[in-house]
Structure formats: C-alpha cells, structure tokens
Chain A
C-alpha cells in the first residue's frame, strides 16, 4: 500500500493445508536490501522462490556493487517467473519499495507467470483478495496524513457533533467527540482556505482552521499508513477462513524500515 513518501507491505502468518492449519508462524514477506517481496500460494514454492530471489539479488549486488532498485527487482521477478511459463511456480508475488533516487513509492503485483500489475494505490494477493479489495478500496486514500486538531479549547467537552469536510478531490467524514483530540486522516494537499465544511457548530470554525494551518507541517504519514494497512489486513483476514493467525506489517520510509507484529484473532 502506498502512502505519502512511504510504502507498506503486510502479510498474515497462517500456513495451512486446505482447512487444516499447519503453522501459525509462517511469514510471507522477505526483505532484499531496500526492496520487500511478499509471496502467497504454494508454501514449497514460496520457500523456493524467496531463496531464488535472495540468490539473484545477492549476485546483482556483487556485480553492480549497489542495491537493486524496486523497479529493477520487479522486472527480475517478472522474467524469472516467465522463464517457467509452462511449469510455473504457484505463487502470486507482491513487491514494495521506495525508489532509491527519487524516494517515490513503488508497488506492483504479479500473476504466477510474471505479468506485472503496476498500481499507484495498493496490491492484494492470496486467499483473501476479495475481502482485501473491499477493505483497501474503502479505507485507502491518496497521500494519507493525519492532523491532530485539539477541539477541547473550542467546544465544551462531551458534546457530540458531526462534521464533514469537503475537499477539492474527495470527501472526508468524521465524527468528533469534543472532549478528545480530533484525528483527521486526509490528503496532504488539503488546503483549509479552499476547503468548505459543514457543521452543526459552524461558528468558530473559520478562525479555528485558519489558526491551525501550520499543523500541516506536522505530518504523521507513516503512522497513518500503518493504521490503514493494518486495519485493512486484519478485518479482511477475519472474514476469510484460510487466512489470519496474526500479521507482520512493514513500513518503509526514506531511511528506515519498521517491522511490527500484530497479534490479531487467533482462530
């Protein structure tokens, strides 16, 4: 999944033979330098293919004396899978990484014979694809950032009101409890001077937003991307009998990769 100046990739941990769960600690994401590869499908092929790419990426690094770029790796995956056109590995890979030079997020997915699906939003793969498509399509939005607006100064606590911010490029909707800090997940090109908003408490909003324009500098995009991809994955696998048992989530930023373990439902 793509965020603002960051990408995320996540997988569940279940290994199963049809309905029989064989292991609840089978990660499907592999890291090769700056690039991450997710593999779903036949477990033997997941092991074989991940080892094969470990070998190929290491050879590339020795020859070129630099790390492989995500887009180069994607083409390597594609050609390696197509080599086995008539006896394919039964895997559907997903690649995620940041472009080394530009820092632009890169994600793509493949079918088992290497046809690349370049996407600018998200890629899903595995047994819970339908559920993941539904979750990602409804949770994801471009350039996710979070603004923490403190409404406590503006309105008395306990009052519940409903606010809608209409943006140039879409619509955002959030219920807000005044006693808490408001979290708006929104697009980074949010411009409060151009945004129109409706509220049952319309008074005071104009000055409030005008005073909080500087909050845009205080972006927390990787955290928001983490929340979005985690919610998308956890809720999707809970509606799929063949997925689940915890998850690994990787957030890739310019100079760091964060890996988190999510426990999730254990059934």
Chain B
C-alpha cells in the first residue's frame, strides 16, 4: 500500500510540482503514435441557395459567420463573382457560392478565379459555365483525401443564354439543376424549393383519379417570383436555424451582367 502512494521518484516517475507535466502515454511504450488533437476543419454555418430561370439565375446566401454558438461577423459574404478581368469583378459572368468551412471557401474561390483568368489568357475568351463547372469538380476531387469542406454552388448563363445552376458535394460530385439549397439550413429550404420551383406534389384538380392525376405543368419562374421565393426561403430558415441570419446577399445573373443586392435579415 505504501508503494502505491509513494513519493519516491523511482517508483512513480518524476513528481513535478506543476500540473501539466509530460506524461508518457501507455500506448507510447508499445511503439504507437500519440494522438494530436489538431482539427483542421470548422463548420462556419450559414446557408446558400440558387435558382435557375429561363434567361437568368439567382444565387443567394446569408452573411452570418459563426463558430459554435458565437457569431464572428454579421457580414461575411458567401457569394462571389468569378472570372472577371478586373479586381472588382465588374465584368464577371459566373457566380460561385461556398458554404461550410469559410477558410476553404476562400481558398477554393481564389483557385477557381485564377483558373478562369488563366483560361481567358490562354484561349482569349471567357470561360463558359459548363467548363467552369467541370473545372471546379476537378479542383474539388484533386483534394479527395483532404477535401475542401465546402458545399459549392456555381451559377451563370449557359451557351444558349439559359440560367444554369451546378451544385457540388465537398469532393466534386456535381449535377446541373433548376434549384439547390446548401449549408446549415439546406434541409429546411430544399423541400420548399421542390414545392415552389419544381411544383412537386402539385396536381391539376379534377384531372384524374388516384395516381392518374395530372401534375402541374413545369415552367420556369419569372425573376420577380424567384426573388420573392428566395426571401421567403431565408426568412423561414432564419426563424428556425441559429446559424442563419444577419443579412441576405443576392446575385442576379442576366445577359446584362451580374447585379448584387443586399437585404437585412433578423440579427437574433
């Protein structure tokens, strides 16, 4: 018993007077590595949303940046213009939104922007959205085993002038869609978009019995309607998700260029 509580350094190892002494891990003796507790990722919350129209596309995102329960800033944009010729991107035609880990988002945005600029330099023409979409997918997959922790959405006008929205998972799997929500409140917004943009679960009354009933005809929405849907979607998300709020940043891509709007959201 006396040996158990002995002060003898030879029996118990060194008895330091301060608390954080280097203690050899039991596993270390067996040649195993000690675990480092550095985590390279953070979830900075927030939410993004993109909808394609007949001749336009709208990308929106809230501007809150969080870490855990604390708000780092109320204005940190998640939606960026990509591939312009100047630093202020005023002639850009493609928009990228990134949500998830903000640092990775910034890094990815800068890489894609550089890639678009290189393309313009080499080919003497701006990059098309579908080319940029493929490039972004490759970029994400290149980091397959140490991914950019972001849900990206890319939008612009395709070669026919129609609105195009491409959505990605963190490792570059992508798809062209009519609409997509990403980030913390994606699960709140996405069913609303299914219903209001793709008219899911909407049928023509009296057009048939049971499963024979006709679905409501799908047609692309007008710009005013889409803008209202985006606001409504975010107002709903702000109400029920703590990581979403403060401001709504909205980019409207038309053949005239990219318009940027900012609207306040609830700050609580």
Contact = CB atoms under 8 A, between A and B. Distances in A.
- A-B interaction: yes
Interface stretch (A26-34, A51-59, A87-95, A228-236): A228-236
Interface in A225-267: 231, 234-236, 238-239, 263-264
A236 B233 CA distance: 14
B188 A130 contact: yes
Nearest to A230: B201
A133 B185 CA distance: 10
Contact of B210 (A162, A234, A263): A263
Interface stretch (A9-17, A134-142, A189-197, A203-211): A134-142
Contacts of A117: none
Nearest to B234: A138
Contact of A238 (B187, B194, B222, B233): B194
B264 interface: no
A178 to B, nearest CB: 15
A256 B239 CA distance: 33
A173 B191 contact: no
A235 B195 contact: yes
B51 interface: no
Given A137-B236, A238-B201, A131 B224 contact: no
Interface residues of A, number: 19
Contacts of A135: 191-192, 195
A173 B228 contact: yes
Nearest to B210: A263
A239 B233 contact: no
Contacts of A83: none
Contacts, number: 64
B190 interface: yes
A47 to B, nearest CB: 29
A235 B187 contact: no
B110 interface: no
Nearest to A137: B236
B211 interface: yes
Contacts of A231: 195, 201-202
Contacts of A138: 192, 232-233, 235-236
A134 B201 contact: no
Contacts of B188: 130-131, 133-134, 137
A162 B221 CA distance: 11
Contact of B237 (A134, A175, A263): A134
Which of B191, B239, B240 gathers most chain A CB within 10 Å? B191
Contacts of A137: 188, 235-237, 239-240
Given A138-B233, A138-B235, A235 B191 contact: yes
Nearest to A265: B201
Contacts of A131: 187-188, 190-191
Contacts of B201: 231, 234-235, 238, 264
B205 to A, nearest CB: 11
A231 B235 CA distance: 19
Contacts of B228: 173
Contact of A162 (B189, B195, B225): B225
Nearest to B211: A263
Interface string B178-221: 00000001011111101100001110000000110000000000
Nearest to A237: B191
B236 A236 contact: no
Given A134-B188, A134-B192, A162-B225, A238 B200 contact: yes
A175 B216 CA distance: 15
B210 A239 contact: no
Contacts of B191: 131, 134-135, 235-236, 238-239
A134 B189 contact: yes
Contacts of A134: 185, 187-192, 233, 236-237, 240
7 smallest beta-carbon distances between A and B, as pairs: A134-B188, A137-B236, A138-B236, A130-B187, A235-B191, A235-B195, A234-B201
17 contacts: A130-B187, A131-B188, A131-B190, A133-B188, A133-B240, A134-B187, A134-B233, A137-B188, A137-B239, A139-B192, A162-B224, A173-B228, A175-B222, A235-B191, A238-B194, A239-B187, A263-B211
Interface of A: 130-131, 133-135, 137-139, 162, 173, 175, 231, 234-236, 238-239, 263-264
